Structure 1
Amino acid sequence: MFLITHWLLLALYAKGESSTTYIVHMDKSLMPQVFERHHDWYKSIIHSINLATVNESSNSKKTKKLVYTYNHAMHGFSAVLSLYELETLKNTHGFVTAYPDRSATIDTTHTFEFLSLDSPNGLWHASNFGEDVIVGVIDSGVWPESESFKDDGMTKRIPSKWKGTCESGQDFNTSMCNFKLIGARYFNKGVIAAKPNVTISMNSPRDTQGHGSHTSSTVGGNYVNDVSFFGYAKGVARGIAPRARLAMYKVLWDEGHQASDVLAGMDLAIADGVDVISISMGFNNVPLYEDPVAIASFAAMEKGVLVSSSAGNEGPKLGTLHNGIPWALTVAAGTVDRAFESLVLGNGQTIIGWALFPAENAILENYPLIYNKTISACNSVELLTQVAGQGIVICDALESVSVLNQTRFITLASVIGAVFISDDPVLIELGHLHSPSIVISPKDGPYVIKYAKNAKNNNPFASIKFQQTFVGIKPAPAAAFYTSRGPSPSYPGVLKPDIMAPGTNVLAAFIPKVPSATIGTNVFLWSNYNLLSGTSMACPHASGVAALLKATHQDWSVAAIRSALITTANPLDNTQNPIRDNGKPFQHASPLAIGAGQIDPNRATDPGLIYDATPQDYVNLLCALGYTQNQILTITRSRSYNCANPSFDLNYPSFIAFYGNKTRSVMQKFERTVTNVGNGAATYRAKVSNPKGFVVTVLPETLEFGFKHEKKSYTLVIKYKRLRKKEEDVSFGDIVWVEDGGAHTVRSPIVVAPNFV
């Protein structure tokens, strides 16, 4: 009965059933010898399926074209198939697995100083500013005319390992590449397959969104003088690795973002010879064996190519992170020590605030300062219009009215100017004001209101100073409210994110075809440089630092570079207190928000000890997860790996443990091995900060190294008891290996969390 039903369904599928793009994994080792190339084998398979389909149903299309064939990021192809054709394909010799194509989620003039890269003895100089390291950016394309992509000062010899090309296309020719932008490719067959009637608006590597130009210039943009965002953040723009080479792989389109295109871009980036891949996007709620970024980054890791990825913008809720890939770098976003604009009261008091009103040369000087309880809610256009031309209106901080709505009402009423009292991170981190206004802190609000109510002669006045930039603001950094938090849904047993980097209001190259600011409700402005926020902006900062490390330590593995970034990250802000979480006001940020802390490039170049890992170590983890042989094969592409030693205990430079709702006491044990990358013999001693309510023990407590590259192992045990039935807190601490003499400190965060997250 089952067989009859099964074949009846297949017959129904064959009759007029719609088709879908599938990503198909094949076992290349089983390719028949008659084929010289993998592409020919896959093409033959599709041809055979076509014939079978034609024989089965006259309604089937007689031709099916491959979308892509893959050979570096994975082994297999993508193709448009009906369910009947998919079932036929599953019986093909060498078939491993298949799943539907899916959509991706898209997630500087001062940040280099904030990261202390301008130090004369730092990583910039040690790496010669990343000279000749090649960074492949997987994104929305590039605007080649941007000053950030000029090759002034670049050496005129492209590294011999480079195998890529510069593809011509609509409004883009090969002469637009140079010794800075050495490659540009584009991939949209997946979008076209998903939407057969689509018209691609810009069929070339040219950027139509600004996202790709922004991220790539953040990674490795050249030096550009006198850059600003309408007068804000003015200075010399440069990428984190300003002498690195850039290659753009356009996979994000106005018409869609398909996994098959992302895979194709990463596939060729690996083949082209890049050293680092920067990808500011991800795929939500997919297992590692169906995640294009995870699959491609495993192949990259095998070849020594580090993949730096964004954590996502779904915070502050826990468990929202994507790209929680054990063999990739996952980057969270933090704020920067920078503010814009000031409010100057008539008594001479200056209050630093925030706003980005984009009208250059705007002046709002010595206007009456109005505080009127009738209108201070700032939630009525009718009431605000009555005082619109009289002066600068103060808006109360109210729970019943969001500051975002207040800014909207002020704009609609065409008020001369306004003072908003708020610390709402949504506005401060992501919003731009469309009227001549300023946002001040609630701690300054009462003083301003008091001045407005009590000034002598009842004639208070104030000025708002625009196009001002203040740096050194404290405290900073803080975890951005929007940055996605761990644990990783794809595998929570490895602590993610790894590190935090600047992601809020980052200035970098943009495109002059998309508005970057608005005045009022209908005046749109364009700029060649834009202030954007997101983990998309944080990721290329880490990618750039990875490129600098690659230039400095060419023999380091991907795991070694990631380890150096994690163990040297700074958990403290510029007040030397623990980094705070803007998503949870007044709380310290846990490693589930910031990883080990703010990236510290100069310390990362000399970490003292590293936690290394081999591809087989990651496979041991996949085996322990209970993945089937085919699921593992989709990631590894090879049967040369084995499951002889499955283990959840990956040699990772951080620790995370979980407890269950019914568990009264638990003990979790971790084994770690560290490699001495210092100059010679060294002794390290363990210093532990226990997570609240838990006890951590380390054996041995002292590691003695006799020579460089020597390895030593230790055991870390977490013991804890649930003190309250309803306890749901995340607790965190750390272990720091301190070298005698203080030359190096090697820090790893420790997290204990309830398993409900």
Structure 2
Amino acid sequence: MGNAEKPKIPNIHHHHHHHHSLLHEVIGDEDIAKRARIHSVGKSFNAFAANLLPNEAKRLQERESVVSVFPSTMRKLRTTRSWDFIQMPISVNRDTQRESDVIVGVFDTGIYMDAPSFNDKGFGPPPSKWKGTCHKAANFSGCNNKVIGARAYSFYEKQEVSPIDTEGHGTHTSSTVAGAEVPGASFYDLGKGTARGGVPLARLAIYKVCWDIGCSDIDIMAAFDDALDDGVDMISLSLGGPASSYFKDVMAIGAFHAMKKGIFVSMAAGNDGMMSTVENVAPWTMTVGASGMDRQFRTPFALGNGVNMSGISLNTFKLEKMYPLITGEQASNHRKVPYANAKACDTDTLDEEKVKGKIVLCGGPPMSQDSYLKELGGVGVLISYDVELKTAHSFVIPTSVIDIKQEQQIYKYINSTKNPVARISKSMEVNVTAPFLAGYSSRGPNMVSPTILKPDIVAPGTDILAAYSKYASITGSPLDNRYGVYNIESGTSMATPHVTAAAAYTKTFHPYWTPAAIKSALMTTATQLKIPDQAAALGYGAGQINPTAAVDPGLLYDIIPTDYIRFLCHEGYSGTILQILTDEDIENCSTVGQFGGHDVLNYPSMYVQLEDPNATISATFNRIVTNVGPFDSVYKATVKADEGLNVTVIPSILRFKQLYQRISFQVTVTGKPLGEYGAIRSASLEWVDSVSVHRVRSPIVASIPEEWAVRS
């Protein structure tokens, strides 16, 4: 894929001609050049996709007018009560007209229009700003006044192109953002209540860029080009993939141009659950991690000796009687299968005759034991796992995921009787302490830009009930015969649309705020997660979103496009590249000015990333806040810091006399050496007004990645 210079005449036909000329020059044969080009975009930014040999790509990259050439990658999807949990009930105050004018673009697997969440009853025609379209397809029922646009892309895999959702993921995320209110929704009576999106009156524009094989960069690039021209206000992407450079990351490039047009973009942080795995870290996007709610789904099971226990899962089945209970070892077929063992019920390790009609106790982690056992005729499975689970998943047969202590009790029972039996019951809801950082949610440190703390924020992403597609089974397995219009899923994919909706809600009250201003409002009003694990500070960013508080944040940390250009200069990108990519008249980086301090962005969070565990902590952050509260406001700085970390704020009192007045301040962070790789210390700065109505909080984190130990 390539990013080329912009022709003087912004016409798509001129882009096609220009891109063909570039290809002709590097390939040499005009006919081959024509066949090589896959797709060109030029409505919102200038780029094209083509099939090139390595030497041809190298020659193209060497051209002065070309910003970057990089291979197209395949991105991954980042797979009711949630809105009440974050204090946004159905009765929340809304500007109904403005909410109805908000258009949310969702890049995902498409949409299932027959889900009740997309009913357009009571909706008027689309907003006049809408310029998009609705693709026609044999199996797609078309758009309406709720889902006003639907496009599908498949440049990588030449298949029938339809916006219909055959995976369920896109339907789930779309309804979480803006699904209409549907009373009595449930997943087989689990999670029963009113299903709704955060902005149920908003419109949806669907861009299907993901298929069963993944999400191609070519399709994502084309979708950005269309969406920015169609008139969307927000873009939600529950997809991911790491990148080493912003200009070799099509999602970061597309989001940059969206930001320039005032379009807010939220992206999933990833589901790897480990340190330094956070994805989608461009500072002009909002990177979203996942938190858990105070509701958990547990699956009871009973043993023949009268002992009752429960594990974690989403089990819609109910066994009416006791069934024989056997362990994976007892069911072994005694074959020697490489890298597999019968205790874990790995594929090809069990005897069908021993498994048929029984419940099997298997070792974890939960993988595909349920599918394998169903194929062998098993009626249920208890999966033992040595990691505490707080997230429930669906399985194709009755399943409960248990802990090691429960496993030991079950083994003791099995060894105490000739005929051990068990029964697995349907799941039930229980209350748990929340919010908490989901175990699967990817953490920092940010390995692309070490001055930016990512993720920015977290939102409910665990056990989320939302709309689903009847073209996909509940688990996605061909062995599953359950199909429905609602499902419960977990992941940063589910958290991201919550933030998109919260941003849209904020925009209805402040239609002229920049994407950075909306981001600041969400971050500085977020609910701080009180987690004893220090490492969690690199997973939850500013905390969990509080949409209603974001409407009145008091102060804003705003950022304009020029600031991002200054940031990119600081990151080492050349003025020439920036001029071509951004369409800005930048001769060299010195023309965009300087912003002193540890970092160069007016970011709502502050982050110090060290490389040497023996180095003392020393950093200065220069920040500017804009008053969006009362005309006469006085804010005082309040600092809380871990032992060994000192934070000084000058001035410590900010006095505002008018609306939109801007005042700068400086934060100095010092401290003793962290002492070891992977160590973290954190603090917070909170600006509190004189009547304690506004509390504008910024997280401050100092860390040293464990990866530096390897590099050193």
Amino acid at match of 1:748: S
* Cα separation, 2, equivalents of 1:292 and 1:284: 11
1:752 CA drift (Å): 0.4
User: Which among 503, 507, 510 is matched to residue 550 of structure 1?
Assistant: 507
1:535 CA drift (Å): 1.2
Contact 1:375 1:383 in 2 (8 A): no
**Mapping 1:346-385, distance limit 5 Å:** 353-359=311-317, 362-364=318-320, 367=322
The CA deviation string for residues 340-363 of structure 1, in whole angstroms up to 9 with x for no partner, is 24538799998665322233xx35
* Cα separation, 1, equivalents of 2:278 and 2:654: 35
* Cα separation, 1, equivalents of 2:674 and 2:3: 49
1:464 CA drift (Å): 5.2
1:69 CA drift (Å): 3.1
Partner of 1:603: 549
Change (3 A) 1:311 1:662: closer
Partner of 1:146: 115
Query: Is the aligned partner of 1:469 residue 2:410?
Result: no
Amino acid at match of 2:181: Y
Query: Is the aligned partner of 1:130 residue 2:99?
Result: yes
* Cα separation, 2, equivalents of 1:407 and 1:132: 46
Query: Is the aligned partner of 1:754 residue 2:710?
Result: no
**Mapping 1:217-228, distance limit 5 Å:** 217-228=175-186
Partner of 1:102: 73
* Cα separation, 2, equivalents of 1:372 and 1:315: 30
Partner of 2:5: 26
Change (3 A) 1:368 1:44: closer
Partner of 1:337: 294
Partner of 1:738: 688
1:180 CA drift (Å): 0.3
SS of aligned partner of 2:101: coil
Query: Is the aligned partner of 1:484 residue 2:447?
Result: no
1:75 CA drift (Å): 2.3
* Cα separation, 2, equivalents of 1:446 and 1:655: 46
SS of aligned partner of 1:670: strand
Query: Is the aligned partner of 1:541 residue 2:498?
Result: yes
Partner of 1:194: none
* Cα separation, 2, equivalents of 1:748 and 1:526: 44
1:214 CA drift (Å): 1.5
Contact 2:297 2:392 in 1 (8 A): no
- TM-score of the superposed pair, with normalisation by structure 2: 0.85
1:330 CA drift (Å): 0.6
**Mapping 1:128-527, distance limit 5 Å:** 130-154=99-123, 156-172=124-140, 176-189=142-155, 191=156, 198-200=157-159, 202-254=160-212, 257-316=215-274, 318-341=275-298, 343=300, 353-359=311-317, 362-364=318-320, 367=322, 402=365, 424=387, 428-429=390-391, 431-439=393-401, 465-470=425-430, 473-517=431-475, 522-527=479-484
* Cα separation, 1, equivalents of 2:26 and 2:382: 68
The CA deviation string for residues 239-291 of structure 1, in whole angstroms up to 9 with x for no partner, is 11111100011122345532222111111111111110111113422311222
1:550 CA drift (Å): 0.9
The CA deviation string for residues 158-213 of structure 1, in whole angstroms up to 9 with x for no partner, is 2111111212234236xx21110001112223x1xxxxxx540x312222222211
SS of aligned partner of 2:34: coil
1:384 CA drift (Å): 12
User: Which among 636, 640, 653 is matched to residue 702 of structure 1?
Assistant: 653
Change (3 A) 1:608 1:351: farther
Change (3 A) 1:436 1:254: closer
SS of aligned partner of 1:111: helix
SS of aligned partner of 1:735: strand
User: Which among 665, 670, 677 is matched to residue 719 of structure 1?
Assistant: 670
Contact 1:507 1:532 in 2 (8 A): yes
Amino acid at match of 1:116: Q
Partner of 2:12: 39
Contact 2:312 2:392 in 1 (8 A): no
**Mapping 1:572-591, distance limit 5 Å:** 572=529, 578-579=530-531, 587=533, 590-591=536-537
Contact 1:655 1:751 in 2 (8 A): yes
The CA deviation string for residues 679-713 of structure 1, in whole angstroms up to 9 with x for no partner, is 33222221212134221111122222223222222
Amino acid at match of 2:114: E
The CA deviation string for residues 628-647 of structure 1, in whole angstroms up to 9 with x for no partner, is 12332354232258543244
1:94 CA drift (Å): 4.6
* Cα separation, 2, equivalents of 1:83 and 1:404: 38
SS of aligned partner of 2:139: coil
Partner of 2:631: 680
SS of aligned partner of 1:131: helix
Amino acid at match of 2:642: P
* Cα separation, 2, equivalents of 1:374 and 1:299: 57
Contact 1:371 1:449 in 2 (8 A): no
Question: Kindly, what percent of the aligned residue pairs are identical?
Answer: 34
Q: Report how many aligned residue pairs link the two structures.
A: 688
* Cα separation, 2, equivalents of 1:41 and 1:337: 55
Change (3 A) 1:484 1:522: same
1:321 CA drift (Å): 1.5
Change (3 A) 1:415 1:188: closer
* Cα separation, 2, equivalents of 1:315 and 1:283: 14
1:556 CA drift (Å): 1.3
1:481 CA drift (Å): 1.9
Contact 1:499 1:599 in 2 (8 A): yes
Contact 2:238 2:496 in 1 (8 A): yes
The CA deviation string for residues 468-527 of structure 1, in whole angstroms up to 9 with x for no partner, is 334xx22222222222212223212111111001112222222212221489x9453222
1:627 CA drift (Å): 0.9
RMSD after superposition = 3.9
Contact 1:219 1:540 in 2 (8 A): yes
* Cα separation, 1, equivalents of 2:470 and 2:436: 31
* Cα separation, 2, equivalents of 1:220 and 1:345: 41
* Cα separation, 2, equivalents of 1:371 and 1:63: 63
- TM-score of the superposed pair, with normalisation by structure 1: 0.81
